[in-house]
Amino acid sequence: MNITIANIFNKQIKLNTNIKISGWVRTKRDSKLGFSFIVIYDGSCLKTLQIIANKKIKNYKKEILLLTTGCSIQVKGVLVYYKENKQLYEIKAKHIKILGWVNNPCSYPMSAKHHTLEHLRNFSHLRPRTNFIGAISRIRNILFYYIHKYFQKNNYYWIQTPIITSLDTEGSSEMFEISESKSYITSKSKKNNYKFFGKKTFLTVSSQLNLESYACSMSKVYSFGPTFRAENSNTTRHLAEFWMLEVERSFIKLPEIIEITKNFLKYILNNLLLKSEEDIVFFSKLFNVDLIQKIQKLINYDFFEIEYKEAIDILIKENNRFNVKISINSDLNHEHELYLTDKYFNAPVIIKNFPKQLKAFYMKINNDNKTVASMDILLPKLGEIIGGSQREDRLSMLDKRLFELKLNKKKYWWYRDLRKYGTVPHSGFGLGFERLLLYVTNIKNIRDVVPFPRSSKNAFF
Ligand code: 4AD
Ligand code: MG
């Protein structure tokens, strides 16, 4: 059976035994004395493995000497310590089978030289062969696992909410409309006549409304899936397709959902440090930042919680710093968020109770009738990572908001039903998964933390 490099470094394989291992050549060096050092990787972990092949191997001259970066090989040999160093291993090869050559090595886009992240983005299909994308993919995997684990452990149910929707959950109209295949579009009008669903449909911008219907029956639920936004903001923090975790819980109010959110973040980050240290250290070295310390700080320190009004008071005093000046009732831009997290508090910040006109229709109106029971969580050097709120559970107030925002009440009939039949207080939040990855790795561009990035003018394949 094939073993992996991770099996070896996790000490699952006995020393001095015969093993079979497969992978891709990262580098090869030939000695004049009749042997070659081949370094292979297989993506199972960040580490590579050195293979020593000598001229006694029957295809040494004809094949092994011709190997280049990117070729795939299967090696049979004996596992030994590398130069008596008990931390490292190598394989004394007995047989090497070439599984795949690299045609025209000069044109191989992932050659051994250093490539920029921009170059790698043009090769989403080959870039997982780099340490960079390998490391981010393993971190993604671990975070996915612990996110599910946290909610399963705490008795939440995972609800698989739909991607196709007819409602604009966030009321911001940044939606991708679904266009039907040719057979549904009449040749005369050449327009989409929505025959398939009988109405306009879109890719979901948030599964929250669907999730609320399950929270209002199963109490503790979450969803985790692809989410789509047609924001034309070509920033390093926005994707057209990203993953959002959404959590919805009945019988709780804003302060409790804030506690749950903090507890959840600390849990997943703690486990990330336990399970992905090697990959985190890789990014620490690359960007020259102590990421372990940065993540530990988030786990150990408390978040600052402030009212929207307090945030505005702080920011107005500093207006001369900002490109976009802030005033009461205006929304926070990225530069304002970063001033609060990086300069003023030097810590994560939770901003609560925004003016109702800055937030979506579903948030609960506070007693002042001006603000909503909302929260945004901002992280240093990143800005907003989580948005959440207590939901409006009173039918009359919900209808008032729909009216104020000129949203068609009829379209929301099923959502209104949840308030008609056994309404309950409930609250929830949404976490942008890729934004979390930016935070824990210090990667600057969100297109580099997702396998196949889709963003404005970017959907290669
Ligand atoms: O703040 P948002 O828009 O909140 C909602 O959609 C709520 N319905 C969530 C809920 O309460 N269930 O989005 C939540 C998070 C943001 O804080 C941000 O981290 C991320 O989703 N996000 C994006 N991430 C990448 N690319 C984009 N275009 C994003 N838009 C939002
Ligand atoms: Mg938001």
CB 78 within 8 A of CB 91: yes
Using the mean position of ligand 2's atoms as its centre, give its distance from the Cα of residue 69 in Å. Answer: 44
Q: Of ligand 1's atoms, which has the minimum distance to the CA of residue 377?
A: 17
What would the two tokens of residue 315 be? 């920011």
Q: Whose CA is nearest to atom 18 of ligand 1?
A: 432
Using the mean position of ligand 2's atoms as its centre, give its distance from the Cα of residue 358 in Å. Answer: 10
Per the DSSP assignment, residues forming a β-bridge with 78 are 18, 92
Give domain 2-108's CATH number out of 2.140.10.10, 3.30.460.90, 3.30.70.1140, 2.40.50.140: 2.40.50.140
Q: Would you list the domain boundaries of the chain?
A: 2-108, 131-448
Q: Whose CA is nearest to atom 30 of ligand 1?
A: 238
Q: CA 73 to CA 80: how far, in whole Å?
A: 19
Q: Of ligand 1's atoms, which has the minimum distance to the CA of residue 248?
A: 12
Q: Whose CA is nearest to atom 28 of ligand 1?
A: 238
**Ligand 1 interacting residues, C-beta cut-off 6 A:** 169-170, 206, 208, 229, 231, 238-239, 242, 244, 246, 384-388, 428-430, 432, 434-435
Cα-to-chain-centroid distance, residue 148 = 14
Q: Any residues with CB less than 8 A from the CB of 359 and at least 6 apart, and which? A: 372, 374, 389
Give residue 262's pLDDT. 97
Q: Whose CA is nearest to atom 31 of ligand 1?
A: 432
Torsion angles phi and psi, residue 376, rounded to 5: -120, 130
Q: Whose CA is nearest to atom 23 of ligand 1?
A: 432
What would the two tokens of residue 274 be? 């336990």
Tell me the pLDDT tens digit for each residue of 24-71: 999 999 999 999 999 999 999 999 999 999 999 999 999 999 999 999
Using the mean position of ligand 2's atoms as its centre, give its distance from the Cα of residue 376 in Å. Answer: 7
Residues of the chain with pLDDT under 50: none
Using the mean position of ligand 1's atoms as its centre, give its distance from the Cα of residue 228 in Å. Answer: 10
**Residue given tokens 């050097």 in the structure block:** 381
Give residue 220's pLDDT. 98
Annotation: CATH topology of 131-448: BirA Bifunctional Protein; domain 2 (3.30.930)
Give residue 168's pLDDT. 84
Q: Any residues with CB less than 8 A from the CB of 137 and at least 6 apart, and which? A: 43, 128, 451
Using the mean position of ligand 2's atoms as its centre, give its distance from the Cα of residue 357 in Å. Answer: 13
Number of Cβ atoms within 10 Å of the Cβ of 114: 7
